[in-house]
Chain A
Amino acid sequence: MTQKILGVTGLNKHFGGVKATHDVDFEIARGAKEAIIGPNGAGKSTFFNLLTGYFQPDSGTIVFNGADVTGWAPHRIAKAGISRAFQISNIFHRMNVFENVRTAVHAEMGRSLGIFGRADRIGIDETEKALELCGLLDKGAMTAGELSQGDKKKLELAIALAGKPKLLLLDEPTAGMSLEETQATMALVDRLNADFGLTVLFTEHDMSVVFDHARKVTLLHRGEIIMRGTPDEVRASETAQKIYLGELHL
Chain B
Amino acid sequence: MLGEVARFYGTRGVSVVLAPVLLVLFLLVPIIPGAFWVQVATEILILGLFAMSFNLIYGYMGLLSFGHAAFFGLGAYATAILFREFSAGTGEIGVWGFFASLIVGPPVAAMGALVVGYFCVRLTGIYFAILTLAFGELLFSLVFSWYGFTGGDNGIQGLLPPPVFRDATVYYYFTLAIVVVALLLLWRIVQSPFGYTLRAMRDNQQRTRFLGIDVRKYMLVNFVIAGAFAGMAGALWGPFTRSVGPLLLGWQESGIAVFMTLIGGSSFFIGPMVGSIVYTFLEAYVTGFTQYWPLIIGLVILAIVLFAPGGLLGILGAWMKRRRGPREARRVRDEDAAARSEPVATGPEGAER
Contacts and interface: CB of A to CB of B under 8 A. Distances in A.
A189 to B, nearest CB: 19
A137 B4 CA distance: 10
Interface stretch (B111-119, B196-204, B237-245): B196-204
Contact of B209 (A75, A100, A120, A122): A75
B221 interface: yes
A103 B188 CA distance: 16
Interface in A45-79: 52, 54, 73-76, 78-79
A102 B2 CA distance: 13
B308 interface: no
Interface string B205-236: 01111111111001001000100000000000
Contacts of A104: 211
Interface in A71-110: 73-76, 78-79, 83-84, 86, 90-96, 98-100, 102-104, 106-108
B194 interface: yes
Interface stretch (B5-13, B168-176, B271-279, B281-289): B5-13
A112 B222 CA distance: 12
Given A91-B204, A96-B10, A128-B1, A103 B196 contact: yes
Interface residues of B, number: 34
Contact of B211 (A78, A94, A124, A138): A78
B124 interface: no
Contacts of A83: 210
Contacts of B221: 113
A119 interface: yes
Contacts of B197: 103, 106-107, 112
A81 to B, nearest CB: 9
Contacts of B214: 73, 75
Contacts of A111: 193
B211 A107 contact: yes
The B interface is mostly helix, strand or loop, or mixed, namely: helix
B192 interface: yes
B4 A114 contact: no
B206 A122 contact: no
A117 interface: yes
A117 to B, nearest CB: 5
Contacts of B193: 103, 106, 111-114, 117, 119, 122
A60 B1 CA distance: 49
Given A106-B197, A116-B189, A163-B211, 6 more contacts: A54-B206, A92-B199, A98-B8, A102-B196, A103-B200, A117-B193
Q: Which 4 A-B pairs have the closest CB atoms?
A: A92-B203, A78-B212, A79-B212, A141-B8
22 contacts: A75-B209, A75-B215, A76-B212, A78-B212, A90-B204, A92-B204, A96-B10, A98-B8, A100-B200, A103-B196, A103-B200, A112-B197, A113-B221, A114-B194, A115-B192, A115-B194, A118-B191, A120-B191, A124-B6, A141-B8, A143-B10, A159-B207
Interface of B: 1-2, 4-6, 8, 10, 188-189, 191-197, 199-200, 202-204, 206-215, 218, 221, 225
